[in-house]
Amino acid sequence: MSLKDRLEVWLGDITQLAVDAIVNAANTSLLGGGGVDGAIHRAAGPELLGECRTIGGCPTGEARLTKGYRLPARYVIHTVGPVYRGRPEDSRLLSGCYLNSLTVAMNHGIRTLAFPAISCGVYGYPIADASKIAVDVCATFMQTHDVPEKVIFTLFSAADFDIYTRYLSNRSG
Ligand code: ADP
């Protein structure tokens, strides 16, 4: 399968995806929040919070694995994006979220993986910049790794979907 076929963009609710794992844009406590985090905890049920409590938090830029419980996805990879402040470390931390999530996925044989637009909600990361980081980090990783086989960028608005779609189709290779 070519790299182009391994990267997909999808408009919709990430909690509905029957993939091996979905990524959660969590906060450092891993104890739930609003946005996509709240939606994932609601759909997964209270057992997810129970498992998250045993983890003891997650530093910004890192990633942790749990089961998916009542979700159609088998696993959830929780990662913590940076709060956007326009500093150089924002992009480094956001890249870390993608790279560490991909590494966790690879280490657990996760073949299909869906990402939301990490940090692009309450955390304020500009979607155009964030989409480039998301696509570039995933493409670079997948060029040298067979697992995950497929990454699905899941966007929650048509405007965000268009930004990702345009960047992916104009990108060479
Ligand atoms: P952060 O705190 O990392 O910014 P948010 O949850 O506030 O996280 O937003 C991250 C992105 O997830 C935003 O683009 C938001 O529109 C999107 N989002 C919110 N709910 C869902 C959902 N159910 N499925 C997919 N994406 C979602």
Q: Is the CB of 15 under 6 A from ligand 1?
A: yes
Determine how many CB atoms are found less than 10 A away from the CB of residue 29. 14
- Residue 165, token pair as written in the block: 């779609």
Asked if 63 and 100 touch (Cβ cutoff 8 Å), the reply is: yes
Q: Is the CB of 36 under 6 A from ligand 1?
A: yes
Determine how many CB atoms are found less than 10 A away from the CB of residue 103. 14
Q: Is the CB of 35 under 6 A from ligand 1?
A: yes
Q: Tell me which residue of 14, 165, 150 sits closest to 78, measured CA to CA.
A: 14
- Percent of the chain exceeding pLDDT 90 equals 97
Query: What's the pLDDT score for residue 28?
Result: 98
Instruction: Please write the tens of the pLDDT for every residue from 84-129.
Output: 999 999 999 999 999 999 999 999 999 999 999 999 999 999 999 9
Helix (H) or strand (E) holding 128: helix 127-144
Q: Which atom of ligand 1 is nearest to the CA of 34?
A: 6
Domain count, the chain: 1
Q: Is the CB of 90 under 6 A from ligand 1?
A: no
Specify the CATH number for the domain of residue 127: 3.40.220.10
- How many Å lie between the centroid of ligand 1 and the Cα of residue 35? 5
126: CB partners within 8 A, 6+ apart: 84, 120
Q: Is the CB of 164 under 6 A from ligand 1?
A: no
Cα 21 vs. chain centroid, distance in angstroms? 9
Q: Is the CB of 96 under 6 A from ligand 1?
A: no
- Residue 82, token pair as written in the block: 């940076």
Ligand 1 pocket test: which of 13, 28, 36 has the largest number of ligand atoms within 8 Å of its C-beta? 36
Q: Is the pTM above the cut of 0.75?
A: yes
Rounded Cα gap, residues 150 and 154, in angstroms: 13
The radius of gyration of the chain's CA atoms, rounded to the nearest angstrom, is 15
Q: Could you tell me the maximum CA-CA distance found in the chain, to the nearest angstrom?
A: 44
Which DSSP string do the residues of 29-59 spell out, in sequence order? T-S--SHHHHHHHHHH-HHHHHHHHHHT---
Instruction: Please write the tens of the pLDDT for every residue from 18-69.
Output: 999 999 999 999 999 999 999 999 999 999 999 999 999 999 999 999 999 9
Instruction: Please write the tens of the pLDDT for every residue from 74-84.
Output: 999 999 999 99
- Residue 26, token pair as written in the block: 């969590």
Asked if 95 and 132 touch (Cβ cutoff 8 Å), the reply is: no
Torsion of CA 83, 58, 35, 123, to 10 degrees: 0
**Domain span holding position 20:** 3-172
- How many Å lie between the centroid of ligand 1 and the Cα of residue 109? 25
